[in-house]
Chain A
């Protein structure tokens, strides 16, 4: 499943864009909880639902980067993927998920989650523009419509 660079990054842009929207949703939901517009149970069940899709989006694109030999970008993404998986794996057995309604108000967890989301948001914003740049470059460098052979002969 090897795409041309332009398609790869176009996919990356959509992927990261989706994650960005998801993160904004996370932040909105968490701040709703913070201001009491939502109760902890609703909030956590909403958020937990999207935890795995978020990891999948990140992991899948990381895999694509690996397959396409984009080592640098892959390494940039790898810590994030690892962290997200670590976060999911280390959830105690008795908790309902990364966001646990019984603990989210304890020990400043809500603040911690909020901070995490902000960090993710920053990270994905940067990544988004990197992908955008890469996509534009790759479009400028070659016509993605052209076949592989032609592409290769240019160099």
Chain B
């Protein structure tokens, strides 16, 4: 028998090692394919968006592209895909058809993948410059059109190269070795308008640079923002130009490649021309067929530059000199080893790509080249190539781990119902796109390499209704799939959705006014709670006693029962405390309407949270389900009572980051065993010791929401709670879930991060799973992987849907093996690394201290850059701080992390805020996590339709993302910062009154009201654009965050200013200073 299925009753026999073979019930329809639309009601648009972002998973496959001409790197599995090899003119015939291949049609519109030139432009996306050679893998052979977008920002770097591309040696050969760094002011300068930062620009301006300032089109005095006809948002302002020498020079030895400067000379932009002429050789990497389209881009560039006339040619000097200093051999060597382009961080003022930072693509060997890998939004690894041995991993100094967002809302998901779910006999792996078919009857597991038989049923292809081609089954076509589980996967009948709301009604709690708000939302959303006819609901309130509500079917009104004996809690009546939502709907409504008034003026100050939780556990234990706790004060009575803790004046707050007692953890584990999850809403203004009480949610698979200083009178607060709670109530829920992650032999998971309980070595017990929770795992390489071509990771989530259906969602990720350090570094996924690092740092600050965690962050940056430097074999080359393309944003993210409330050194972060931030780091999915680490800053004054997305007929402008520095703030503009859980529009002092009127409906800066939480609906194009953009940002999030509009002279301005993370603050270094520090450390 399945060993771990034995003891806990609620535990489904998910996948034990010794599972008996499944029986095949006969006479069932073979299987039914459904498209499941798991759209939560709140944001249908969100899903719409996702639909576009995902390639059709069950659609017919296009023939594998590129069969006749695999790119060079495909042939040599050992070779990393060298960036510039791809750009070589030779594979052009392969490239061009592929770019138009039907494969691309499914590409998401807002991922500026380089592979989808034509379809993208049709979709209203900013026509990507045809010059895609900067893409690391422009060969469209890749089978993952939408899933594996190119490494972040690469695509958008085209134009700068174009302008200031690496000048050929003749230009500046023998010039000064490095750009003079002393001229470079720290990044954290005063808020100088980008228009004319004279000091800042000098150093960056190459001889040909000045034109970009003295742009005749754009007299800086006029109001540039609204008048600009085209400021393509997704375009790089002056994006990374500092391609270091190494690869560029050698990228194309082909003499022919020097012969295409013509395209640059077509550049209509007056200010571009000199630059282009200076660096024509860049063109050599452009496949000839592209040059016809090339004028498009430069013209955009022209139009854009006036808006932010930042120096476009800034690092030309450094570049040129570096180029000159590199020997040809060196370049050849680097190229041979597939080193990617390198960036000199010290030289690059604008390293942040203007578009979303995309996950690097996973490039598999030829055999799986057309297999579809799991979307990086769901399943991501810190490296896209797994190091062959542990020593390579150790040398590369990168953390190895995966981040999973298994229950993400998907708009399109193949759902399969079949008699036999095909799994490996030995390791219980589900069949997936990366298995090997030995013949039509047998397959070889890609996790344990056992050869398994295929059931007859599997021969049938439901799409074409033919037999004999197992590779056409959806299981083998899609890396994310959902099975409807037969009864072998249940140890008990699927539980109904059971919701219990536990509300604190002590004096402080009632004073905040949350009760009314919560009851009102609940009343409105009762119909939308996910569930079926069996759905149950119950309520408990507590202060110093526990109040139960009997909702007997025949009763006229809810009957309240008070249990004062909190030390030994019992249920006052055996039934009717949890009632069927539909049968007793009226009673529930009555209760909800009555509750807020009932406790008005309740004088009881204390709160018996522990007892209330025990009562909930007793109530829910038999069925399992979800407990939602609203807690406002520190639990002060009964079991689980806590004393307020202070750090005692010591700077090290780490004891406060750990629980004071183990009551909540123990209770959570009991809950977990009975499939009860506890979700915590904490609305405290005094300390509530979240570090301790969060245990109840962390180990029972719940979630934690924190609204510090909540008061319902504050519109911002109530809006935030309303939206969050609404989403919480209506989002999908998976009950009595377990998740198992299997990985290829040789890899092992050694640490888990997230809210769950690890029941056995790789089985996570998740009493509830929500679409907003993510998980992280650290991997170790235990055996040499050199005899394999790739490794697979499979996450399987077995859950009961709110409709009482047992389902298994399976995600499979396949990663190739790398045999040397450079390859590993080149394949790093910086965002995923940051995601994993935060989780590790939370552990570190709990087990050791906060300063240790901070130090560890800095060490990561130092180690990674040192390793990179070592792999570059650059000797003492230059004073620059070189970073690979794949990790170029890592120092930036680390600077931001050091300023994040979770890891900030200053002692004025309240302990609950800090603990909450840490809990969030542990459980957020990567995209939200990144946004909270490094918020997006957009200029709102120059929105144009250039490069806009078009969703449901609405045009949504896409302004560029800016660095989080006051330097980027134009005093005549207005800026939006998007932190994931709040949107702040910051209006600067010198805003043009006309702009003010058009966008905000106020006649001047002074006339803007102090508190504004909505954008006025004005009937003009600019306002429409802005609202479209802001609404778009709201819709792509799980729930729409509240909007604040803050004037520069407002007392709330610090709400915005705190996010200028790259500037210096009283307790932390600016980004530039941090780089300087790194430089001294990197050896």
A contacts, CB < 8 Å to B? 33-42, 92-96, 101-102, 104-108, 110
Contacts and interface: CB of A to CB of B under 8 A. Distances in A.
Contacts of A106: 750-752, 758, 843
B757 A102 contact: yes
A93 B757 contact: no
B3 interface: yes
B673 interface: yes
A105 B761 contact: yes
Nearest to A37: B3
B660 A40 contact: no
A12 to B, nearest CB: 35
Closest 7 CB pairs of A and B: A94-B659, A105-B758, A36-B760, A37-B3, A106-B751, A39-B759, A36-B4
Contacts of A41: 669, 673, 757, 759
12 contacts: A35-B3, A36-B763, A37-B3, A38-B3, A41-B759, A92-B659, A93-B659, A94-B662, A94-B691, A95-B665, A102-B758, A108-B750
Interface centre among A39, A92, A101, A108 (most CB of B within 10 A): A39
A104 B695 CA distance: 16
A93 B759 contact: no
A127 B80 CA distance: 57
Contacts of A96: 662, 665-666, 669
Contacts of B759: 39-41
A102 B699 contact: yes
Contact of B17 (A36, A102, A104, A105): A36
A38 B760 CA distance: 7
Interface string B666-704: 100100010000000000000000011001000100000
A102 B692 CA distance: 15
A108 B778 CA distance: 11
Contacts of B751: 106-108
Nearest to B691: A94
Given A36-B16, A39-B7, A39-B8, A92 B658 contact: yes
Contacts of B661: 93-94
Interface in B356-401: none
Nearest to B3: A37
A93 B643 CA distance: 14
Nearest to B757: A102
Given A39-B7, A102-B669, A94 B695 contact: yes
Interface in B734-767: 750-752, 757-761, 763
Contacts of B691: 94
Contacts of B665: 94-96, 102
B2 to A, nearest CB: 9
Nearest to B668: A102
A91 to B, nearest CB: 9
Given A101-B757, A102-B699, A105-B758, A93 B660 contact: yes
Nearest to B749: A105
Contacts of A37: 3-4
B972 to A, nearest CB: 52
A42 B7 contact: yes
A149 to B, nearest CB: 56
A117 B658 CA distance: 27
B661 to A, nearest CB: 6
A33 B665 CA distance: 20
A93 B661 CA distance: 5
Given A40-B757, A101-B757, 4 more contacts: A36-B4, A94-B661, A95-B665, A101-B669
B89 to A, nearest CB: 51
Nearest to A32: B3
B4 A39 contact: yes
A36 B761 contact: yes
B465 to A, nearest CB: 41
Contact of B662 (A34, A35, A93, A107): A93
A96 B695 CA distance: 12
Contacts of A105: 752, 758, 760-761
A95 B451 CA distance: 44
Given A96-B666, A102-B699, A107-B750, A40 B760 contact: yes
B760 A39 contact: yes
A94 B699 contact: no
Contacts of B843: 106-107
Interface centre among B660, B750, B752, B760 (most CB of A within 10 A): B760
Interface in B92-119: none
A53 B295 CA distance: 82
A71 B750 CA distance: 43
A37 B757 CA distance: 17
A119 B854 CA distance: 35
B670 to A, nearest CB: 9
B662 A95 contact: yes
Contacts of B4: 36-39
Interface string B751-789: 110000111110100000000000000000000000000
A137 B571 CA distance: 65
B658 A94 contact: yes
Contacts of A39: 4, 7-8, 759-760
Contact of B3 (A36, A101, A108): A36
Contacts of B763: 36
Nearest to B695: A94
